[in-house]
Chains A and B, each alone.
Chain A
């Protein structure tokens, strides 16, 4: 988890409890990932009235999963007896670099190739198409079939070795 900016106000044990609850909240469109794995949790802090505020970065401006994620977080934390408000955090904008190492591993297991290059890497800056490894057989002989897939965050690829189509989680 990379989000820690405004967590000072929360005692460590409360924070740990909230974090373990958030680890159980799945992304609605890629349910193998928790909202923590996805890197969308930007801050946890306590408001003056005692409400726990959870800052959530939308992955894409129009992603329909964002309101669902916020509602799921509120539901999970309320069920544990906490008063909670999930709010949007637009800046800095979410990047696929925030997906955790654990999240990347889970994506591969689920059959989705994780983002290939860090957004700020020289390769990405030079706009070379990254080499994407097939999540099934590991071959790097793959072809992009479409810039867009079933959700805003994915593109479609085909493996030329095992001939299977697969989703690729885009770098942004």
Chain B
């Protein structure tokens, strides 16, 4: 697997897994507006994942399309960030996870607009418009929850504490990243950190929330080594397709 292919799969899988997580809220969100909001963000991410997976399939050149890549890869063949596979928890935790990811994805897509891979650059330019809107939504809610009631503030701060251990991986750079960056495919994750920190700190300050201390441990989801949650998510997402190969609506 070339570094370029793996780099694209990482992006595709992070979008796909988060889209699936957000889909779990449909019919369960605290208000109709948020049901629609989370479903819309999920739909955008799913659309981005489809474009990226289709592109990955072309790069691979073995005839695998978006469906095969989404439905027929196992847990260790998924290269998403560990952050996005974390369970939804309460609404505050879902919003905190979304916010941390949106703030990362924004910087990533901004840089990827200049990709030497023209298709990737086009996907980034398209997705960036959507991501800006997602960040407005998640950031807006984080402020309302953080600067809200005592209860909402306590739970949102708790969500940040719970999710912060996964932040290191957003900026961890390995050989795949270095190789992709050298070829001009996309940004090296480490270069996204200062922009991310600035975006996040600004909103956290408005939300009267404190950024937790950074952990030492770095997760390895993007290398295919996941926590305990991804397997269950994939089982639910893939079971229909595996039981009825090629099934269509």
Complex interface: stretch among A24-32, A47-55, A149-157: A149-157
> Pick the contact of A148 from B33, B45, B122, B129 — CB < 8 Å?
B33
Assess whether B157 is interfacial by the CB under 8 Å rule: no
> Pick the contact of A91 from B43, B44, B125 — CB < 8 Å?
B125
> Pick the contact of B125 from A62, A64, A92, A146 — CB < 8 Å?
A92
A62 touches B133 (CB 8 A): no
Number of A-B contacts (CB under 8 A): 70
B126 touches A93 (CB 8 A): yes
Given A90-B126, A147-B140, are A170 and B47 neighbors across the interface (CB < 8 Å)? no
Please measure, in the bound complex, the distance between the C-alpha atom of A95 and the C-alpha atom of B48, giving whole angstroms: 17
Assess whether A2 is interfacial by the CB under 8 Å rule: no
Chain A binding site: helix, strand, loop or mixed by DSSP? loop
Chain B residues near A172 (CB-CB < 8 A): 129-130, 133
Query: 27 pairs across A/B with beta carbons < 8 Å?
Result: A58-B47, A58-B126, A61-B44, A61-B47, A61-B50, A61-B127, A62-B43, A62-B45, A64-B43, A90-B51, A90-B125, A91-B118, A91-B121, A91-B126, A92-B125, A145-B33, A146-B34, A147-B133, A148-B37, A148-B39, A148-B40, A148-B41, A149-B36, A152-B40, A156-B33, A170-B133, A172-B129
Give the interface of B toward A (CB within 8 A). Answer: 33-34, 36-37, 39-41, 43-48, 50-51, 118-119, 121-123, 125-127, 129-130, 133, 136-137, 140
A90-B119, A90-B126, A146-B34 given. 20 additional CB < 8 A pairs?
A60-B44, A61-B47, A61-B48, A61-B50, A61-B51, A61-B130, A62-B44, A62-B45, A64-B43, A90-B122, A93-B129, A94-B126, A145-B33, A146-B36, A147-B37, A147-B140, A148-B36, A149-B36, A172-B130, A172-B133
